[in-house]
Amino acid sequence: MNKVLVSLVALLAALAPMGPAVAQPAPDIKASRIVIAPPQTDLARTIKDGLSAAYYGARAETAAHAEAQRLYFLYGQRHFEPIWLSEDSAGKVSFSPAAGKIIALFENAEAEGLRPSDYLTASISSDKLGGDAIALATLETAFSAATMRYAQHLHNGRIDPLSVSELLDIKPKPIDEAALLEKLAGSDDPAAILATLEPQHPEFKALKAALASFEKSSAARPAPIGDGPVLRPGNSDARLPAIRDRLKLTASTSELYDELTVDAVEAFQEGQGLEVDGIIGPATVAALNGGAATRREDIIANMERWRWMPTDLGDFRVFVNIPEFRLWIERDGQPEYTTRVVVGTTRNQTPVFSDNIRHLVVNPYWNVPSSIIRGEIAPAVLANPGYTDSHNMDLLYNGTPVSPWQVDWTQVSSSNFPFRVRQRPGAGNALGQIKFLFPNKHDVYLHDTPSKSLFSRSFRAFSHGCVRVEDPMAFADALMANEPAISRASLEAMFGPNEKWVNPQTQIPVHLAYFTLRVDADGAIRNYGDVYGHNEKLIAALGLNPVAEPAIVAEVETAPAELSP
């Protein structure tokens, strides 16, 4: 009996929510009548004893207790008869038809970008079908654990996003495991039920199709072009022969970036929507590595990130893809508006999460984050006490402006430093004329900027973490398409010295996402640089291509020095 109790405890641990601990609500036993039917076979009695021990042994109001309760009620309504095992008239035990179909799914898990070995473990081997009651009870519960693990991986992915980066602030989507087990047990087509758990987004489906065809076409795939220094006309680099081959130029072993190759690169950049400058930087290299050069591990990693996304992205939504440096407004899955954006630097990364735009702020104040006060404003004031005045800033103590000349700025790193810095509305305000708020713990948002020059670059990771929008008023107009009382004209009429808040009637979902592969409507795969290294870290975590330290895409040239979120 101890063996089955151990297996049941292990099962309940496996059924606990994956990723950050999110307790599932216990069923409301007052709302519906729960019938616990008595076991009628030795195997059923063994299952009941194990589940009962796990249920009553778990601490109340914990995820383990809630899961034990659900599983106990589920099996209790079935006289504690097994879900995955069946017994014929001669007493021979075998896997049920539903279990057989699920085993087939486990065997084909690679088609989902998953690993069969995560589910086809020794504990669910058919060799155990001839065991005693305790062995069969162990097999039964182990199969439930493997099935729930598979379901969780389909729905939420294999990897906890926070294990890749603390800035992947993604909440796992709950699964009612007991209800799912019950549906699977009574279904003639468990594959169809489990298929509803995976993302339904067209891009996920396209990536899944690309994975299915990868092995057939892999022989013709060129080797990816490696990272290296930014190449300008006249430079030399060992990657030039491979770049010429990718551009379908006449084969040449020359490592000189000559005029013919520059022309071909510019034509390629124009076709990819990149800045047409003939400079081969990270964005151009990433684009060259798209299409037929796409790696299998990149496909799987991007499928994993789609599993992290909310099931419902919203019928009308804002979608920002950080590696692409671009924003879209989409309605029913179709783009209505798009624009370039600037995102956080590799040191001040834009976090990945989903929220809702609740407010538009015209003529915004900029409440300067404490990190920028310590790292940039304090040193500037120490060198020039008139710095805050010259930048239209107020130094505040308990909300009241005070003179920066009266403050000991050497104490700015102290936790007791009681002052805040706020930049007043105006032409030089770091947030420009409008910001779009979705209050969050990261204190990031979308906003205008007076620094427009960076939008012309292909690589646009230069902010302190917020997302700067190239044409914010055109974006605002498209964003307010469903708000009859708000328009670009009404917002521009508010321009002036005073901050004004505008609250749309309907909150708008916004997703700050991180996809290094995007699939066009025609099925073409585009590749974007791994600006923060999240992709390579995820590939390593998935066990596809372990690396010690993932390379982070970096721009050789730096942006002009500026104070901006």
**Average pLDDT across the chain, whole number:** 86
The residue type at 495: F
pLDDT (average), residues 323-337:
96
Does the pLDDT at position 216 exceed 50?
yes
447 carries an active-site annotation: yes
pLDDT band at residue 16 under the 50/70/90 scheme: very low
- Name the pairing type of β-strands 508-513 and 316-321: parallel
pLDDT (average), residues 71-100:
85
* pLDDT tens digits, one per residue of 95-144: 989 999 999 999 999 999 999 999 999 989 888 887 777 778 778 888 99
Map out the domains of the chain as residue ranges: 2-198, 231-280, 289-365+429-565, 366-424
Q: What percent of the chain has pLDDT over 70?
A: 88
Does the pLDDT at position 411 exceed 90?
no
Q: Which of the following is catalytic: 65, 391, 447, 511?
A: 447
Q: What percent of the chain has pLDDT over 90?
A: 49
Taking the C-alpha atoms of residue 61 and residue 520, their distance in angstroms, rounded to an integer, is 47
Q: Which of the following is catalytic: 153, 466, 511, 534?
A: 466
Give residue 14's pLDDT.
Answer: 44
Q: Residue 527 in 3-state DSSP?
A: strand
Please give the residue that has the higher pLDDT: either 178 or 95.
95
Q: Residue 47 in 3-state DSSP?
A: helix
pLDDT (average), residues 489-515:
97
- Name the pairing type of β-strands 434-437 and 359-362: antiparallel
CB 64 within 8 A of CB 51: no
Taking the C-alpha atoms of residue 541 and residue 538, their distance in angstroms, rounded to an integer, is 5
* pLDDT tens digits, one per residue of 136-172: 877 888 899 899 999 999 999 999 999 999 999 999 9
Give residue 563's pLDDT.
Answer: 63
Four-point Cα dihedral 301, 305, 306, 309, nearest 10 = 170
359 carries an active-site annotation: no
* pLDDT tens digits, one per residue of 24-47: 333 333 344 667 889 988 878 888
As a 3-state breakdown, the chain gives helix, strand, coil percent values, each rounded to 5, of 40, 15, 45
- Domain 289-365+429-565 homologous superfamily, CATH: L,D-transpeptidase catalytic domain-like (2.40.440.10)
Give residue 327's pLDDT.
Answer: 98
Give residue 33's pLDDT.
Answer: 60
Does the pLDDT at position 544 exceed 80?
yes
Please give the residue that has the higher pLDDT: either 289 or 95.
95
Give residue 146's pLDDT.
Answer: 92
Give residue 562's pLDDT.
Answer: 60
* pLDDT tens digits, one per residue of 234-261: 999 999 998 998 888 888 889 899 999 9
Q: Which of 232-246, 359-373, 391-405, 542-556 has the lowest mean pLDDT?
A: 542-556
pLDDT (average), residues 295-323:
97
Burial 263-281 (b: 16+ CB within 10 A, else e): ebbbebbeebebbebbbbb
Give residue 197's pLDDT.
Answer: 97
Please give the residue that has the higher pLDDT: either 14 or 143.
143
pLDDT band at residue 64 under the 50/70/90 scheme: confident
Give residue 292's pLDDT.
Answer: 66
DSSP 352: B
